[in-house]
């Protein structure tokens, strides 16, 4: 039997802790694994592209545990009443090859993306950063808001989306959360939202080379958290931003980011820093308070590995509606797989001779 976490179990686990604590604990798990960067077997994700979206597989292993995530990205889905991104994942034991956990990762992907964004910003943004502009107010926006408020002390959140319905949705959800000390401001444009912001998060969904931010909007000392660009041909930053002399860029895994990140717009020689080096203190995040820093985030399999291990632990520790599924056969004789198909003896009615 394999442990199983579906949507209802995920809701239960998050409700028990609260979203802010859940994200904070997840950030600790991810940070701990980035500190073990060299032990992981790493590769860019395998992507199958179509005209309307992408389906990807994301594997990672530390030699003891193995994980993979199945995830899609289909920006047009919302017009059909479907999510843009859905995901599930497996955590397995390397020694036996047996799966330990099958879990939903749609909610979890939003949570781990927010956790990683905050983890990077704690090292890259100015320590006194208190104003965040959130450009793109769709499915991931609440998670980003919670993470930056809780982990970085953001006190003003500026919202902008081309879809006013998305802004209204985010405002309603933030009002329900009642995040202490957070001022929420609806803005009329990207330029208005970004002006004077310490941190700018872009989390838009269109599968195209969009220009969400232009060089003239970028002020000295800003930290840009570019989350939406995550596949070939999908970016959010104008190339001139990346060409600025005062810019320093960090990525999760350089071979993957060269294909999918904002830096796909640049030459292969364009200099970047890997997040693991920042976390380990092997690289400097910024040279001064006037330098512009960019976290070119595409999402990496190690983050899902961390999330699945964390989920398995709290799922087993906490009381609740724990479930297992018969995903793998349990045989008396492991060489006799056909026994699963063999006719089973009939139960005899009382008083009937065999």
Q: Which residue has the tokens 């089973």?
A: 344
The full DSSP string for 118-136 is HHHHHHHS-TT--EEEEE-
Judge whether 230 counts as a catalytic residue. Answer: yes
Catalytic residue among 33, 161, 198, 230: 230
Measured distance CA(215)–CA(231) in Å, rounded: 22
- Is residue 156 within a helix (H) or strand (E), and if so which, with residue range? strand 156-160
Measured distance CA(284)–CA(262) in Å, rounded: 20
CA 20 to centroid of chain Cα atoms: 15
Sequence-ordered alpha helix ranges (H) in the chain: 7-17, 19-34, 106-124, 141-152, 164-177, 190-194, 239-242, 254-260, 275-279, 301-317
Helix (H, G, I), strand (E, B) or coil at 91: strand
If you compute the radius of gyration of the chain from its CA atoms, what whole number of angstroms results?
Answer: 23
Measured distance CA(213)–CA(206) in Å, rounded: 14
Give the tokens for residue 285. 């995040």
Measured distance CA(61)–CA(68) in Å, rounded: 9
Give the tokens for residue 8. 């209802």
Which sequence positions are flagged as catalytic? 230
């Amino acid at each position: 039997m394999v442990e199983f976490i579906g949507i209802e179990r995920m809701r239960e686990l998050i409700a028990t802790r609260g979203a802010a604590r859940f994200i904070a604990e997840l950030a600790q798990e991810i940070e701990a694994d980035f500190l073990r960067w060299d032990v992981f077997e790493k590769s860019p994700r395998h992507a199958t592209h179509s005209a309307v979206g992408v389906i990807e597989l994301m594997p990672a292993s530390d030699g003891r545990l193995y994980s993979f995530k199945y995830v899609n990205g289909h920006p047009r889905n919302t017009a059909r009443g479907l999510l843009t991104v859905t995901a599930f994942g497996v955590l397995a034991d390397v020694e036996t090859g047996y799966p330990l956990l099958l879990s939903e990762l749609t909610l979890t992907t939003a949570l781990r993306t927010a956790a990683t964004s905050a983890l990077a910003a704690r090292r890259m943004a100015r320590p006194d950063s208190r104003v965040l502009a959130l450009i793109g107010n769709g499915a991931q926006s609440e998670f980003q808001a919670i993470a930056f408020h809780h982990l970085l002390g953001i006190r003003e959140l500026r919202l902008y989306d081309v879809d006013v319905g998305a802004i209204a949705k985010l405002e309603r959800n933030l009002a329900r959360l009642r995040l202490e000390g957070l001022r929420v401001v609806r803005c009329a444009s990207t330029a208005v939202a970004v002006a004077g912001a310490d941190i700018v998060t872009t989390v838009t969904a269109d599968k195209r080379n969009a220009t969400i931010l232009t060089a003239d909007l970028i002020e000295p000392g800003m930290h840009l958290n570019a989350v939406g660009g995550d596949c070939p041909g999908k970016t959010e930053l104008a190339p001139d931003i990346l060409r600025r002399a005062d810019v320093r860029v960090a990525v999760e895994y350089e071979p993957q980011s060269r294909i999918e990140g904002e830096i796909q717009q640049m030459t292969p020689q364009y200099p970047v820093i890997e997040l693991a080096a920042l976390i380990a203190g092997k690289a400097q995040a910024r040279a001064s308070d006037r330098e512009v820093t960019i976290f070119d985030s595409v999402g990496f399999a190690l983050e899902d590995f961390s999330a699945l291990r964390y989920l398995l632990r709290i799922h087993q520790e906490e009381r609740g509606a724990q479930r297992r599924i018969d995903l793998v056969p349990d045989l008396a004789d492991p060489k006799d797989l056909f026994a699963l198909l063999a006719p089973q003896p009939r139960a005899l009615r009382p008083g009937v001779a065999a």
